[in-house]
Amino acid sequence: MASATPVVVIGGGAAGFFAAITCAQLQQRRPVLILEKSRHILAKVRVSGGGRCNVTHACFDVDELVKNYPRGAHELIAPFHRFNPKHTIDWFKAQGVALKTEPDGRMFPVTDNSQTIVDCLTNAAPKYGVTIYPNLGITGITPPQTQNADWLLQTGNNQTIAAYCVLVASGSSTQMWQLLSGLGHTIETPVPSLFTFNIAHPLLHELAGITIPQVAVKVPQTKLQAAGNLLITHWGLSGPAVLRLSAWGARELHNLNYRFNVEINWINHLPAQSVAQLLAQYKSQYAARALQAHALFNLPLRLWKRLASQSGIPENLRWADVSKKQLQQLVSQLTQTVLPVSGKSTFKEEFVTCGGVRLSEVNFKTMESKLFPRLYFAGETLDIDAITGGFNFQAAWTCGRIAGNSMAQQATAGFEPENHF
Ligand SMILES: Cc1cc2nc3c(=O)[nH]c(=O)nc-3n(C[C@H](O)[C@H](O)[C@H](O)COP(=O)(O)OP(=O)(O)OC[C@H]3O[C@@H](n4cnc5c(N)ncnc54)[C@H](O)[C@@H]3O)c2cc1C
């Protein structure tokens, strides 16, 4: 008695596991297999969120949620109406995993340990009948030759596996993108997203560790701009404002070879004119006090002193003695500091790839390829990525869930007992 050809998930990451579990939960007619190239399944989940796994984000309005996706915002609207952070929270809760929300909206397991999420998924998979094969990479994909024929998958150890449905959830695998490109799918050129800026400039010397709240940053030669907290690091700038800029500008900044100027307004969007007026007021208000003695605009004192020095204002100069030119320079430093970026560094907490399978070639109602029947996509293999904060996993859960659902329907509908038993 031959068994039905299986549903095969390529890739044992977040998207692959979620899809496989969903598919196995909804139908038992066809086996569901996860084939994972490496020895370790769910490797990225394990290291994610600095070892805590930022599972999702407490954002429950779909219109707001999609604003966090530089690529995929439009395509994710309908999928998020079907499976969004609320459903993610409920799903993990049903598996016995409680999530908590941090003040900035990021959601983590209450254990603060990514192992909780790894354990949850690795326990759920066999419970619903998913079989996992680590160390089994796919090296070739042959589409069905006739309408109801199977997909044929070549493995690294020279096996051929027949599959009724195939889900490609191989993350940012160049090898898989090459295989898909060979089949006729278009791959948007992959480039890194979510990185920090390398800047070697005296202004930042010995200021590492300082966080400045609500800073506006832009790249003057482009239309790129972002706001949020800014972190000065040993090698340059990081923090939400910079990471946002890196995500929205992933492609443009790549094209600039990561060499460009960044312009910083340290006091959010307060325009130069308003700052000039405020400084004129302070000049009379604090006339007898040394300008560098007390920071204004809620700036950290060390940064305030540095900006004042860069404006030519000596340490003990009193407000009363600050010249018009010095004040003008301070206004300019506060609202328009220009620093040269000379490269990028990896943001260790979370990084993703911009690029992947072209979204117009995928049906987002099912996650099925528009080019081939019974070929599905989910996760980072698609040209979808988000800013940091749990949004990348949410896209993986959502697309995985929908793909799993569709494959379950397809697997049942296409089941022909007389052929398989
Ligand atoms: C350090 C780090 C921290 C992160 N932290 C967070 C976070 O806290 N929150 C968040 O939302 N996002 C985070 N991300 C992003 C998030 O991890 C990814 O968006 C997510 O893992 C994508 O899931 P995926 O299943 O699509 O791909 P992956 O997790 O990359 O899984 C793909 C799997 O496919 C396998 N594979 C590849 N090719 C083949 C093949 N030919 N045959 C078989 N298997 C194959 C790979 O080995 C891999 O296991 C982080 C990323 C990194 C790098």
pLDDT in tens, the chain (421 residues): 347 999 999 999 999 999 999 999 999 999 999 999 999 999 999 999 999 999 999 999 999 999 999 999 999 999 999 999 999 999 999 999 999 999 999 999 999 999 999 999 999 999 999 999 999 999 999 999 998 899 999 999 999 999 999 999 999 999 999 999 999 999 999 999 999 999 999 999 999 999 999 999 999 999 999 999 999 999 999 999 999 999 999 999 999 999 999 999 999 878 999 999 999 999 999 999 999 999 999 999 999 999 999 999 999 999 999 999 999 999 999 999 999 999 999 988 889 999 999 999 999 999 999 999 999 999 999 999 999 999 999 999 999 999 999 999 999 985 554 333 3
Task: Identify the pLDDT of residue 415.
Answer: 59
Best residue among 168, 392, 394 to mutate for probing ligand 1's pocket (most ligand atoms within 8 Å of CB) is 392
Could you tell me where the DSSP H helices lie in 370-416?
Answer: 391-413
| Angle between the N-to-C axes of helices 114-127 and 43-51, in degrees from 0 to 180, rounded to the nearest 10 | 150
Nearest ligand 1 atom to alpha carbon 349: 3
> Domain segments of the chain: what residues?
7-191+348-420, 195-345
Pairwise CA distance, residues 43 & 106, whole Å:
21
Spacing, Cα 173 to ligand 1 middle (Å): 9
CATH 3.50.50.60 at 7-191+348-420, yes or no: yes
Give 356 Cα–ligand 1 centroid separation in angstroms.
Answer: 13
CA separation, residue 61 to residues 54, 83, 108, 337 (Å): 19, 12, 19, 36
CB 240 within 8 A of CB 213: no
**From the CA of 171, how far away is ligand 1's center (Å)?**
5
pLDDT of residue 3: 76
Nearest CA to ligand 1 atom 26: 379
How many whole angstroms from 22 Cα to the centroid of ligand 1? 18
Rounded distance from Cα 351 to ligand 1 centre (Å): 10
Sequence-distant (6+) residues with CB within 8 A of 251 are 191, 354
Cross-strand partners of 338: 263
Name residue, tokens 């799993």.
404
Contact of 31 with 133, CB cutoff 8 Å: no
Question: How many CB atoms are closer than 10 A to CB 243?
Answer: 27
pLDDT of residue 335: 97
Question: In this predicted structure, what is the pLDDT of residue 395?
Answer: 98
Residue 12 beta carbon below 6 angstroms from any ligand 1 atom = yes
Question: What single-letter DSSP state applies at residue 3?
Answer: P
So what's the pLDDT on residue 421? 30
- CA-114 nearest atom, ligand 1: 8
What b/e sequence results for 24-49 when a residue is b if at least 16 CB atoms lie within 10 Å of its CB, and e otherwise? bbbbeebbbbbbbbeeebbebbeebb
Q: How far is the CA of 196 from the centre of ligand 1 (A)?
A: 20
- Ligand 1 atom at shortest distance from the alpha carbon of 136: 43
- 155 in helix, strand or coil? strand
Going from the C-alpha of 378 to that of each of 106, 143, 307, 398, the distances in angstroms are: 22, 18, 47, 8
- For the Cβ of 380 lying below 6 angstroms from any atom of ligand 1, the answer is yes
Question: Measured between alpha carbons, how far is 78 from 364 in angstroms, rounded to an integer?
Answer: 8
Token pair, residue 74, equals 């439009």
In this structure, the residue with its CA closest to atom 38 of ligand 1 is 170
Question: Ligand 1 within 6 A of 38 CB?
Answer: yes
Q: Determine if ligand 1 sits within 6 Å of the CB of residue 379.
A: yes
